[in-house]
Amino acid sequence: MGVHALYTAATGMNAQMKQLEVTANNVANLSTQGFKRDRVNFADLFYRHQHLVGAAGPNGTTRPTGVHFGNGVEVVSTQKLFEAGGTMITDNPLDVAISGPENVFFKVRSPDGTEAFTRAGNFTLDGEGRIITPGGDVLLPEITVPQEYYSLDIARDGKVTVIETLGDDPTELGQITLGRFVNPGGLKPIGKNLFVATPAAGDEQLVTPGSAGNGVLMQGAIEASNVNAISELIQMIQGQRAYEINSNVIETADEAMQIANNLRG
């Protein structure tokens, strides 16, 4: 039985190490615009059954409980939690935050042609005047801003207009649309604040900001990370303690087996 305890405790140490890796990534992205924190989901492993619950017991009785020995724990998934982060006011006309549901995203195209989605609205312009992310991903649909302009306005409904010279009427440049998914947790994170669609996320729906249930845009603001430093610190301490306790279990099981071997001798 001591050997089983060794392996069981080892699964606990492995699981807590993976928890620490996720916590480290969350804390590292504390200041990353639009970052969504991860959570580790655990599940217990299979059981060894010495006596099955509900089986026939002595003298024709039915066992009200069984004798089951677990074999530890495993990480079944790491899950992105898409609750909104705080809104930071920047007054930069190219910064845009989504105010509303957690399952809508800006749609962009990477230089290699990959279409992706992001909640980070810290946009800038490329040499052609197109609105892009800091990583060079082009906002879709493409919107090109004139080289010189007096003011740029991004309305709550995503309509982009520009006044090129003071006193001119606004000129409409384009319309920002958002990608919506039934299950945002099914999106695959690929880095650079980007996610790509997978079948688990459901079909992409292109929606207009301001329409029913799709949120609105806030110009001059960006969405902050949704990482809570205090919660992550508590998680880190709990993981450290759990790792230490599993390590102690291994030491105790090893000592018990040594005692048993000495008794045989």
147-163 average pLDDT score: 96
Domain of 132 in residue numbering reads as 87-223
Confidence of residue 264 (pLDDT cuts 50, 70, 90): low
Looking at the fold, whether 138 and 54 belong to one and the same domain comes out as no
Answer yes or no: do 154 and 211 share one domain: yes
Residues 207 and 236 in one domain: no
- Max avg pLDDT among 4-13, 67-76, 129-138: 129-138
pLDDT at 2: 65
For residues 94 and 160, membership in a common domain is answered with: yes
Considering its fold, how many domains does the chain have in total? 2
Q: Residue 167: pLDDT band by 50, 70, 90 thresholds?
A: confident
Task: Name the pTM for this structure.
Answer: 0.87
**Are residues 142 and 209 located together in one domain of the fold?**
yes
Q: Kindly state whether residues 73 and 121 are assigned to the same domain.
A: no
Would you call 247 exposed, middle or buried from its count of C-beta atoms within 10 A (0-12, 13-18, 19+)? Answer: middle
100 confidence band (pLDDT: 50, 70, 90): confident
Q: Identify whether the C-beta of residue 173 lies closer than 8 Å to the C-beta of residue 144.
A: yes
Return the pLDDT at 29. Answer: 97
Q: Percent of the chain at pLDDT above 90?
A: 78
Least confident of 150-154, 191-195, 200-204, 253-257: 253-257
pLDDT band, very low/low/confident/very high, at 4 (cuts 50, 70, 90): confident
Q: Average the pLDDT over 245-259 and give the result.
A: 87
Same domain, 155 and 194: yes
Which pLDDT does position 62 carry in this prediction? 77
Query: How do 131-132 and 124-125 pair as beta strands?
Result: antiparallel
Over range 157-180, report the average pLDDT: 95
In which band, very low, low, confident or very high, does the pLDDT at 252 lie, cut at 50, 70 and 90?
A: confident
- Decide if pLDDT at 265 tops 60: no
| Average pLDDT in the chain | 92
Q: Does 137 lie in the same domain as 91?
A: yes
206 and 124 co-located in one domain: yes
114 lies in the same domain as 76: no
Closest C-alpha to 1, from 71, 63, 86: 71
Token readout for 140 is 């879709």
Same domain, yes or no: 205 and 245: no
Percent of residues, the chain, with pLDDT higher than 70? 98
Crossing angle of helices 229-264 and 2-28, rounded to 10°: 160
CB-based contact 160:121 (threshold 8 Å): no
Tens-place pLDDT, residues 60-81 = 777 787 788 888 999 999 999 9
